[in-house]
Copies of this chain bind each other. A is one copy, B any other.
Amino acid sequence: MKIHDITLMMEEGMTVWPGETAFVLQRDKKIEDGANANVSHLEMSVHTGTHVDAPFHFLSTGDTVENLLLELLIGKVVVVELDGQIGEVTREVVESIGLADGVKRVLFKTRNSDYWATGIQDFQEGFVGIDADASKLLVEKGIQLVGIDYLSVAPFKRSRPTHEILLAAKMVIIEGLDLSGVKPGEYTLYCLPLKLKHTDGAPARVILIEE
């Protein structure tokens, strides 16, 4: 059994969505200054780094993040690797990957993972996202969880159609995965988000287990 950690490191200066709260992590109590222990605090958007979106992120009456089912967040998953030339996940791209019947969870490894591998921290508007038509096809195929390796599952400036289609179908969305170190294939996914009450998303630790 091998564990692959596909979570982004959370640190000050990490890439965040334009206009969102910067990630803060500060040590307030320091042993070297006479404190009994080192104690730090953090501040962040709930959509920072590797995180899940809840339906409530884009749907006013959608479920909030504590209600995402652990039975969906855990289980068999397929990691699909797209050619580095592919700039957007379209219906044709989804058709071409030939997902087997019964697959419920899919993670898209795209050229986005190169951003993490090379340490680019400036926000990249040209990241690969999933378009509206491809999102509909994922719903039709019965996919219940989709993950991608940049900070949004949707192409830049087209957030709502993709999110709305996926979230209305109660699909779990994982964003900000670092898939640079994993090969395409089958794994067991453990995506465990913070148990935040009544909110629109949550940072998560996400791993793949290779049997």
Which chain A residues have a beta carbon within 8 Å of chain B's beta carbons? 3, 5, 7-11, 20-21, 25, 27-28, 31-32, 36-47, 49-50, 56-58, 60, 66, 70-71, 74, 159-160, 163, 190, 192-201, 203-207
Given A10-B197, A190-B190, A207-B70, also A46-B40 (CB < 8 A): yes
Q: Which residue of B lies closest to A66 (CB)?
A: B9
Given the contacts A190-B192, A192-B207, A195-B9, A200 and B36 also touching, CB distance less than 8 Å: no
Would B43 and A56 count as touching, CB distance under 8 A?
Answer: no
Known: A47-B39, A57-B38. A7 touches B195 (CB 8 A): yes
A42 vs B194: C-alpha distance when bound (angstroms): 11
Contacts A8-B195, A11-B198, A195-B9 known; A21 to B46 CB distance under 8 Å?
Answer: no
- Beta-carbon contact of B10 and A194 below 8 Å: yes
With A5-B70, A39-B57, A40-B200 given, name 10 new contacts (CB 8 A): A9-B66, A11-B196, A27-B199, A39-B200, A41-B44, A42-B44, A43-B43, A49-B195, A190-B190, A192-B207
On chain B, the residues within 8 Å of A56 by CB distance are 38
Cα distance, A60 to B36, chains bound together (Å): 11
Chain B residues within an 8 Å CB radius of A27: 199-200
Min C-beta distance of A79 to chain B, whole Å? 18
Task: Tell me the smallest distance from the CB of A74 to a CB of chain B, in Å.
Answer: 7
CB<8 Å pairs between A and B, sample of 15: A3-B74, A10-B196, A10-B197, A20-B41, A21-B41, A37-B57, A37-B160, A39-B57, A40-B201, A42-B46, A190-B190, A190-B192, A192-B206, A194-B194, A195-B205
Chain B residues within 8 Å of A70, by CB: 3, 5, 207
For A40, list chain B residues within 8 Å (CB): 45-46, 199-201
